[in-house]
Amino acid sequence: MGKRTHRKRGSERHRFVLGGLLFLLVIIIVRVGYLQVHMAPAFAEKAENQRTRELELAPKRGSILDRSGDPLAVSIEARTVYATPRLVADATATAEALSSVLGGEVEGYRERLQRDSGFVYIGRKVDMERAAALESLGLAGIGMLKDSRRSYPCGELASQLLGFVGIDDEGLAGIEKHYDHLLAGEAGHVLAERDPFGRVLPGGVVHAEEPVHGDDIVLTIDKDIQYVAQLRLQEAVDTWQAKAASIVVMDPRNGEILAIASVPGFNPNDFADSDEGSRRNRGITDVYEPGSTVKSLTAAAVIDAGLHGPDDVFTLPPTISVGGRTIKEAHPRPTVEWTLGEIVMNSSNVGSVMLGQALGPELLYDYFARFGLTERTGVDFPGEALGYLPPVDQWSGSSIGNIPFGQGLSMTPLQLARALSAIANGGFLPSPHFILGVPDREDVEFVWPTQRAISEEAAAETRDIMVASVTDGTGGTAVVPGYDVAGKTGTAQKARTDGRGYAQGAYISSFSGFLPADDPQILIVVTVDEPRGAIYGGVVAAPVFREVAAFAVAHLKIPPSSRRDTSVIETVTPGPEDE
């Protein structure tokens, strides 16, 4: 009896243990099945994350070229320096070595080298010379990736036009920003295997997607004309101790901008050291009251409207009263009999008011709108300013007495260049632009519309008046030997920024013109802000026009005017101007 009981109990224990083992086996099988089937994707992803690192492959930014293919902005080879902190044996010594080669504070590098991370940036866009010096040190835990950095080989040349890029090669200003979608390209990616210490395994690439490099673009800018324009503009600022200056050089036939410059300037290779004022492309971003340069537009409107011809004679009193305001000339004179052409040639304020009165407010506004003075030019550049021409219902009683000669309205130098192009090219308003093409992209096309402003006949008659303004009027210092120059001087008071009216003693001197007058191919607008020692456009701005224009026609091999003597003409310093 005792033996049977003992065997029975032993059998029960055996079954219990076996049952327990079977139960545990079932649990293990279920758990393994859960982990291998249900949790497998999550574990695989976690394992892959631990084993691999995704690195971005930066594309090479496209180059910016001038119209002859000369480089203005390029991307050159560089390196991104990174660290794997776990592999750095001596953070302090390594930080000191990095500082000695790359610059920067030792403490900043040490802090990054002591992070609990498998990857930290040490330096980006490192030039190849410093990268080679760093590599020669053989620092443990320090690695490099291929990169590129933006370089502007001509320094300050066209700097306000080109703009600059940020650390991520994103265009931040100028053409770099406007055409970033073409220049930037698309980043590639590589999924690389790494060891437990975070080191990328050679040959352990899991997946690679090559970057798409950016497109090169060709601008309308002529590098040589740009250089001379900047040089002469800087000389004028230095000579007259001016606050600032700008110049626009354009082909009036098609709106291609050959040069555009502002003083002061900056070097885009060191843009972080520049101030906002030096980075402004003033010909596009700054507005001003143009003064007497607008008299050419007023005359063109009167001629196109059929109200008067160039030889119609006007009796001009010494002054004229409009809306309770007495308007006089810049310099006193008696009553005279002047033709419409002579009104412009002598830059008469009184005569221009009479021309404006002949048009009336509505028609004068309409013509100025046709000349593009109520809209942006649409130039392919960020931040274009819009000038101001008040609607007729906002005119005061004296508006018809100052708008015809360039007060009470504002515009950018580029707006004026566009408007004068209609006089130069036979009546059409072009679309100013900087891009000439994208050499490697057949699918990219640019269309630059034009619209008629005045008739061809009115444009031709106004051109002749503007030629006389240079040969016999206030623009004598703009004469270019061998060429008929059409132009107009301007000396405009600066509007106050702290209230109504004009700043005492502050002027903008300007000259705008084009040549050869019988086949205009070069149009130039020069503005000089607050010159000292002289204020008249014929003295301050016209010589800049002359020097730049003379170089441009020679450089572009534009034939002299057929009716002009090509011998050297002695330039004449004009006397006081009626502006």
The helix (H) or strand (E) run that includes residue 101 is: helix 91-102
> β-strands 428-429, 451-452: how paired?
antiparallel
The reply to whether 176 and 276 lie within a common domain is no
Amino acid 47: pLDDT? 52
Amino acid 25: pLDDT? 78
The reply to whether 194 and 310 lie within a common domain is no
The helix (H) or strand (E) run that includes residue 180 is: helix 180-183
Residue 444, domain CATH? 3.40.710.10
The reply to whether 325 and 376 lie within a common domain is yes
Name the catalytic one among 75, 148, 159, 292. Answer: 292
Tokens of 32: 């393994």
Which residue, of 196, 219, 242, is where some domain finishes?
219
Q: Does residue 40 lie within any of the structural domains? A: no
Q: Which is nearest to 415 in space by CA: 494, 540, 264, 527? A: 527
Matching residue, tokens 């640019």: 446
Which residue, of 194, 219, 244, is where some domain finishes?
219
Q: Angle at the Cα of 285 (from 281 to 291), degrees rounded to 5?
A: 110
Amino acid 9: pLDDT? 62
Q: Does residue 7 lie within any of the structural domains? A: no
Q: Does residue 561 lie within any of the structural domains? A: no
The reply to whether 136 and 281 lie within a common domain is no
The reply to whether 215 and 230 lie within a common domain is no
How many CA atoms lie less than 13 Å away from 279 in the CB half-sphere? Answer: 18
Q: Does residue 11 lie within any of the structural domains? A: no
Instruction: Give how far Cα 91 sits from Cα of 126, 139, 159, Å.
Output: 21, 10, 41
Q: Does residue 372 lie within any of the structural domains? A: yes
Backbone angles phi, psi at 391, to 5 degrees: -60, 155
The reply to whether 245 and 313 lie within a common domain is yes
Backbone angles phi, psi at 278, to 5 degrees: -75, -15
Instruction: Give how far Cα 266 sits from Cα of 192, 390, 472, Å.
Output: 42, 35, 39
Active site residue 292: yes
> β-strands 336-339, 313-316: how paired?
antiparallel
Amino acid 574: pLDDT? 42
The reply to whether 188 and 104 lie within a common domain is yes
The reply to whether 426 and 409 lie within a common domain is yes
Contacts of 468 (CB under 8 A, 6+ apart): 341, 344, 345
Inter-axis angle of helices 91-102 and 106-113, to 10 degrees?
130
The reply to whether 248 and 140 lie within a common domain is no
Q: Which is nearest to 543 in space by CA: 509, 519, 506, 520? A: 509
Q: Does residue 463 lie within any of the structural domains? A: yes
Q: Which is nearest to 219 in space by CA: 260, 186, 188, 271? A: 260
Q: Does residue 310 lie within any of the structural domains? A: yes
The reply to whether 432 and 542 lie within a common domain is yes
Give me the number of domains the chain comprises.
2
Contacts of 227 (CB under 8 A, 6+ apart): 157
Q: Does residue 577 lie within any of the structural domains? A: no
Range of the domain at 333: 223-555
Residue 325 forms beta bridges with which residues? 322
> β-strands 435-437, 451-452: how paired?
unpaired
Residue 193, domain CATH? 3.90.1310.10
The reply to whether 157 and 271 lie within a common domain is no
The reply to whether 228 and 211 lie within a common domain is no
d(CA 66, CA 216): 11
One pLDDT digit (tens) per residue for the chain, 579 residues: 555 555 666 667 777 777 777 777 777 777 666 666 666 666 555 555 555 566 677 788 999 999 999 999 999 999 989 998 888 889 999 999 999 999 989 999 999 998 887 788 899 889 999 999 999 998 998 988 888 899 999 999 999 999 999 988 899 999 999 999 999 998 887 766 655 545 555 555 556 788 889 999 999 999 999 999 999 999 999 999 999 999 999 999 999 999 999 999 999 999 888 999 999 999 999 999 999 999 999 999 999 999 999 999 999 999 999 988 999 998 899 999 999 999 999 999 999 999 999 999 999 999 999 999 999 999 999 999 999 999 999 999 999 999 999 999 999 999 999 999 999 999 999 999 999 999 989 899 999 999 999 999 999 999 999 999 999 988 999 999 999 999 999 998 888 777 777 888 899 999 999 999 999 999 999 999 999 999 999 999 999 999 999 999 999 999 998 755 444 334 444 444 444
d(CA 412, CA 371): 13
